[in-house]
Amino acid sequence: MREGSKVNEVKNDMEVERKVAETAELENESSGNEELDLDFSDDLNDDIELPDSMDFDESVQDSDPTEEDMEDELEEAAFDFSELVPSVSKPVNRIPDAGVLSVVNSKNGNRVSIASEVNNRLNEPNSVQVGFTEESMVIGQYLGEGYTSYDLKGQGTKRHIYSKELVEQITSHYQLDFRERTSITFSAATYQKLNGNIVAVISMK
């Protein structure tokens, strides 16, 4: 019985020593792990590179808002539109008035210019006669006996009578003032028949 108990005591001692050795080994491994430097933050920041697909698009990031974006952000006006005062004006005709007849009285020449409109209504004569009333001047291809026939010169938009004497008569009869200008244009004309011919009646007032 003593030999058996001794054997058991030996076995127990060996088992205790084994467990003590395992415990010591586990403690050594645990302490070794605690001493390891697990801080990889610096190395990761230095070595890791973003792939191209993850690069920031600066053009998109810095782009200005479009007009559509700005319109979407607009809010309804807070003031009352019923208080607005409308801007009203009349349209202005910017087309200059070329006139139907011009009288030129200058040192460089004297002439009476007849617009193409008048010339066309008179059936484009080669010469015309001129008569005076108190407020109008009558021009026609034939007004009657005793009238001077003036040749028409030039082509295009106007025909011209080059006569210093005629310009002086017109200036005197209608008291035209050329002191600060060399040309006076008249814009109103009516058309009538005289002795079977069309005549132009030019308003000189």
Task: Kindly state the DSSP code that residue 157 receives in the 8-state scheme.
Answer: S
The least confident of 24-28, 74-78, 91-95, 111-115 is 91-95
pLDDT at 156: 75
Report the alpha-carbon distance of residue 49 to residue 60 in Å, rounded.
22
Report the alpha-carbon distance of residue 199 to residue 193 in Å, rounded.
6
Distances (CA, A) of 59 to 54, 72, 132: 15, 22, 81
Amino acid in the structure at residue 164:
K
Q: Above 70 in pLDDT, residue 192?
A: yes
Residues 6 or more apart whose CB falls under 8 angstroms from that of 193 comprise: 199
Q: pLDDT (tens digit, 9 = 90+) per residue, 92-122? A: 444 445 699 999 999 989 999 999 999 999 9
pLDDT at 205: 85
Q: Above 90 in pLDDT, residue 70?
A: no
Higher pLDDT, 176 or 44: 176
Tell if the pTM clears 0.75, that is, is over it. Answer: no
3-state DSSP of 78-109: CCCHHHCCCCCCCCCCCCCCCCCEEEEEECCE
Cβ atoms of residues 134 and 205 within 8 Å: no
Strand partners, 106: 109
pLDDT at 127: 95
Q: pLDDT (tens digit, 9 = 90+) per residue, 132-173? A: 999 999 999 999 999 999 999 987 779 999 999 999 999 999
Amino acid in the structure at residue 25:
E
pLDDT at 155: 72
Is residue 194 classed as helix, strand or coil in its secondary structure? strand
Work out the pLDDT band at 195, boundaries 50, 70, 90. Answer: confident
Report the alpha-carbon distance of residue 119 to residue 114 in Å, rounded.
7
pLDDT at 64: 67
pLDDT at 196: 87
Provide mean pLDDT across the span 16-24.
66
Helix %, strand %, coil % for the chain, to 5?
Answer: 35, 25, 40
